[in-house]
A and B are shown apart, each in its own frame.
Chain A
Amino acid sequence: MRPASPLQHAFATALLDPSLPTPAGLCAWNGSDPGVRFAVYRNNVVHSLVAVLGDTFPVVRQLVGEDFFGAMARVFVAEHPPTSPLMHRYGGGFPGWVADFEPATALPYLWDLARLEWARMAAFHAADADPVDAQALVAVLQAPDRLAVSSLILHPSLAVVQSPHPVVSLWSAHQQDDDARDQQLGQLRLDAGESALVFRVDDDALVLELPAADAALAAALAGGAPLGAAQASHPQADLARLLSVLLRHGQVIGVTSGPVSGQHAPNDTPQPAPETSA
């Protein structure tokens, strides 16, 4: 690697830290203060990244308002600038960061809502996969001893979001017009937990509410647990109902004997999306 020139390094550092002076060596044709012009770059960087986050987390933005969201997102951008030019992958760490963002702690459901919105983003761009072949599935279903030790391979777009807050109602209220939204929000009990499956169907990332026990079971299945063990550890859940939902929406893409390793995480602990260069 070539040695970094002090000039570009100073430029990059000052972009994200407005307390730093305009880097030396920059000028305006008319001899005016280059700081005004450097501010254009600063604004471009910060505003474009805040806009990326606003597009990815539109309900969080509406819930806290443009001003609060802008201020919050600017702090995130300064602390966690992107490391990749793929802007649809920027913001995976935002929900977890929001959970610890002191000024937002009055809204304890905010990070769950952010997780839901990130799951939608990830679902929208996830890899394509065909539903499981019906005959393969029937073969497993007809052999009860095999069924218990079989695991499902679920669609790459599928995520499970579990929350102690009414995260699905909060999200769906913001898909409506203002009056309907306010009416729905007025009826919410903020301590009534909700869970959802998030997955892509055609051109949309759907949010489908599930009973908490079914969601926990779905998370276990998404984690690769065999059907028998998953059902045993979630006795309240309705495996038949969950399977029916997954199959109806084409979210089961394979069945294997024994636990599946390396399946995608059920998205309950948000992390920045990995760079896939393969």
Chain B
Amino acid sequence: MPEERTPSCLAGVGLKATHVPALLARGPAAFLGGAGFLEVHAENYMVDGGPMLQHLERVRAHWPLSIHGVGLSIGGEGPLDEAHLDRLDRLLRRFEPRWFSEHLAWSSHGGHWFNDLLPLPYDRASLNRVCDHIDQVQQHLRRPLLLENPSTYLHYASSTMDEPAFLAEVVRRTGCSLLLDVNNAYVSGVNQGRDPWTLIEALPAHAVAEIHLAGFAEDLDAAGDRLLIDHHGAAVDAAVWALYERAVALLGPVPTLIERDNHVPALSVLEAEARCTLDAQHHALDSLVTA
């Protein structure tokens, strides 16, 4: 049944305000053949009123929704921001998304917010803290969290375990799921001098509930080696596509999102990329069925 759409194959794009009219005009059947979903950043919708929330209500009426947080600072040393958890709770109860995700990173310290996803050492203290925070988040929000693997540019000398081992232990202890960002896996792999596949193959496959794909920028480090910058401002790179196809062959179909936050093109351009992920998922599904 190579051409049959199944509910287990879903593809999405990050929702941009500029795309909302085009999306609503098309409707669900004409967007990714009825297999589409949308993702938004939670913090952009933590507003008192106005068009953002109204548009999201209309989108939510037609499509599965993923709410992707960037504000919890789960890897932060300090306690979680209770006010922010409450805001998240209100947003999630209002829109009841199919998925809620956050990052293995920290973004605030000493009362300041850095608006970036900063790296943490992979050691016992970080592990305990991250697990405590995820327990607190899942209890407060009464729903599972999908934790996203980060893109990193350096590492801590104090780390005592590698990233996949850290993530696997977080999943084991907290029962959270994973958002596998294949672009982040590739960027971090190149930036840390390791094969990106070693991360993906070591993750607990059952826990991967969503995949992200995005573009990166090229730079060089002080030794002239490649330094990739996760900037969400370009099409998905061929190397990331290859890694993605390998990942879904291993994991089976996983709802996959195209992220683009800079140099955002027309909706149809992002949709075409998302359609490629559907093709890859169907191919993986066929292989699983015939195997």
Contact = CB atoms under 8 A, between A and B. Distances in A.
B113 A34 contact: no
Given A11-B118, A45-B114, A277 B78 contact: no
Nearest to B155: A27
Output the residue of A35, A41, A83 with the most chain B CB within 10 A.
A41
Contacts of B77: 2, 4-5, 8
A139 interface: no
Given A12-B109, A37-B227, A41-B118, A126 B84 contact: no
Interface in A73-116: 81-88
Contact of B86 (A33, A156, A277): A277
A7 B47 contact: no
Interface in A179-202: 200, 202
Nearest to B114: A45
A11 B155 CA distance: 12
Contacts of B43: 85-87
Contacts of A33: 221-222
A32 B223 contact: yes
B157 interface: yes
A277 B83 contact: yes
A38 B156 CA distance: 12
B51 A203 contact: yes
Given A26-B156, A29-B193, A88 B47 contact: yes
A1 B115 contact: no
Contacts of A49: 115
A32 B225 contact: yes
A34 B51 CA distance: 44
B111 A1 contact: no
A175 interface: no
B71 interface: yes
A249 interface: no
A87 B129 contact: no
B154 A28 contact: yes
A66 to B, nearest CB: 16
A15 B107 CA distance: 11
Contacts of A1: 78-79
Contacts of B44: 87-88
B60 interface: no
Interface in B108-152: 108-116, 118, 120-121, 125, 129
A233 interface: no
Interface of B: 43-44, 46-52, 70-71, 73, 76-79, 81, 83-84, 86-87, 106-116, 118, 120-121, 125, 129, 153-158, 191-194, 219, 221-223, 225, 227, 229
Interface of A: 1-2, 4-5, 7-9, 11-12, 15-16, 25-38, 40-41, 44-45, 48-49, 52, 81-88, 124-129, 156-157, 200, 202-203, 275-277
Q: Which 6 A/B pairs are nearest by Cβ-Cβ distance?
A: A85-B71, A29-B193, A32-B223, A128-B49, A12-B109, A33-B222
